[in-house]
């Protein structure tokens, strides 16, 4: 077991066996048919990336272009690697873009543009901007650029063909927010020196429980889904994810897209459904958000992720510190304080009657992160099933995309 989850406390609830069983059966069916899960069965594509990985590791800097799921999955995974030479550009703020390009040497920089559809406006403009900047040099574009997109006649593929840029295939039928375990997340992980196989194995370990005789009402993703749906029916409409681990900040961003874009829908009965995901970080947001969680409206479901083994540091033993307020710190470490603060936050949340779930990690490595990501994917899919919404589309945002292009053309 990569991690364990404490019971939710702070509110009475029950897990109806029939509801849990139906959700478990639904996930088991998806286990056999969903491209996301089928793709996890074979790691051979990782070996096929060896030459690409070698080429990109030779660069001082690697810029990964894309937005949404084409970027967030890779960002979440690379939090383990902390590679200073890999830059994710997931927005189109020209100030940020100009600042980054001004710091790069074209001769020592590689670019990877990722878009499932090949038609994402932000990614296309990002790539065209980088090509325009890069084209002032005598370098060969095809040696420094790579495109990842689904096979087809897309604008991104057209750019690649025009400039002889190599293309790698985005797997069919896997939306961006579910693509972290594919080439979308694994190629950046490999370039950063992470163990892509361990990441995928961690995900498979959780997924394999669907093939066992596991009791539905004790399967953690099902428990989370049933409780989320039941609490939502009682007026709880916000899901706060609060890791006490800096490395999981981008994981929280990935979770927010997964949860919001998959569940914020109109049900089959025509009712609006959604539980708003909110990012928080312990212990930082004890000083900015916790007051609201404790004394504000009772509409929040809390999930804290804590790490039991802190990085070892020398105990504080500076004898010259004599102020009475400092005496409690002598003989302790920074990790001791974090452990005390997360325990205190858990206790005060529960004492105030806030529904609180704690996910405890013994360590944080590739296999643990892979398992954690798969847990939340399954929990999201099960919640969508219980709410009767489609977790794979995002119809409401399409109008905004069309209007943006209309305004762009008008503004020329």
Catalytically annotated residues:
261, 287, 401
Q: Which helix (H) or strand (E) holds 307?
A: strand 300-307
Q: How far is Cα 86 from Cα 393, in angstroms, rounded to an integer?
A: 30
Q: Is the bond leading into 283 cis (omega within 30 degrees of zero)?
A: yes
Q: Which helix (H) or strand (E) holds 358?
A: strand 356-361
Q: Which helix (H) or strand (E) holds 229?
A: helix 220-233
DSSP string for residues in 286-333: GGTTHHHHHHS-S-EEEEEEEESSPPP-PPP--TT---GGGGGGTT--
Q: Rounded to an integer, what is the distance from CA 199 to the centroid of its chain?
A: 13
Cβ atoms of 71 and 90 within 8 Å: the answer is: yes
CA distance between the termini of the chain = 56
Q: How many alpha carbons fall within 13 Å on the CB side of residue 353?
A: 8
* Angle subtended by helix axes 155-162 and 121-134, to nearest 10: 20
């Amino acid at each position: 077991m990569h991690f364990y989850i404490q019971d939710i406390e702070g509110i009475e609830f029950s897990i109806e066996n029939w509801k849990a069983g139906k959700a478990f059966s639904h996930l088991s069916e998806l286990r056999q048919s969903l491209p996301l899960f089928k793709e996890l069965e074979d790691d051979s594509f990782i070996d096929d990336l060896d030459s690409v990985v070698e080429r990109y590791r030779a660069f001082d800097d690697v810029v990964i272009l894309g937005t949404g799921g084409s970027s967030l999955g890779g960002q979440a995974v690379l939090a383990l690697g902390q590679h200073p030479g890999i830059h994710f550009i997931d927005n189109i703020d020209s100030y940020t873009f100009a600042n980054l390009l001004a710091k790069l040497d074209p001769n020592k920089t590689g670019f990877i543009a990722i878009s499932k559809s090949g038609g994402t406006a932000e990614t296309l403009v990002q790539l065209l901007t980088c090509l325009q900047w890069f084209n002032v040099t005598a370098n060969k574009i095809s040696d420094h650029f790579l495109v990842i997109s689904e096979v087809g006649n897309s604008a991104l593929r057209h750019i690649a063909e025009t400039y002889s840029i190599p293309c790698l295939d985005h797997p069919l039928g896997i939306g961006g927010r579910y693509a972290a375990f594919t080439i979308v997340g694994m190629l950046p992980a490999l370039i950063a020196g992470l163990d892509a196989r361990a990441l995928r194995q961690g995900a498979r370990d959780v997924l394999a429980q669907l093939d066992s005789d596991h009791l539905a009402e004790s399967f953690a993703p099902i428990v989370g889904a049933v409780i989320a749906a039941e609490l939502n029916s009682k007026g709880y409409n916000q899901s706060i994810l609060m890791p006490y681990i800096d490395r999981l900040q981008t994981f929280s961003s990935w979770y927010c897209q997964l949860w919001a874009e998959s569940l914020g829908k109109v049900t089959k009965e025509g009712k609006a459904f959604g539980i708003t995901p909110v990012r928080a970080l312990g212990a930082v947001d004890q000083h900015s958000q916790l007051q609201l969680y404790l004394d504000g409206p009772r509409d929040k479901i809390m999930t804290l992720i804590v790490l039991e083994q802190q990085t070892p540091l020398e105990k504080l033993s500076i004898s010259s510190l004599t102020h009475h307020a400092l005496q409690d710190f002598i003989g302790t470490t920074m990790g001791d304080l974090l452990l005390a603060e997360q325990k205190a936050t858990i206790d005060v949340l529960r004492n105030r009657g806030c529904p609180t779930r704690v996910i405890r990690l013994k360590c944080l490595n590739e296999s643990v992160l892979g398992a954690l990501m798969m847990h939340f994917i399954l929990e999201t899919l099960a919640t969508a099933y219980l709410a009767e919404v489609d977790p794979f589309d995002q119809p409401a945002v399409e109008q905004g995309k069309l209007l943006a292009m209309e305004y762009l053309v008008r503004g020329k």
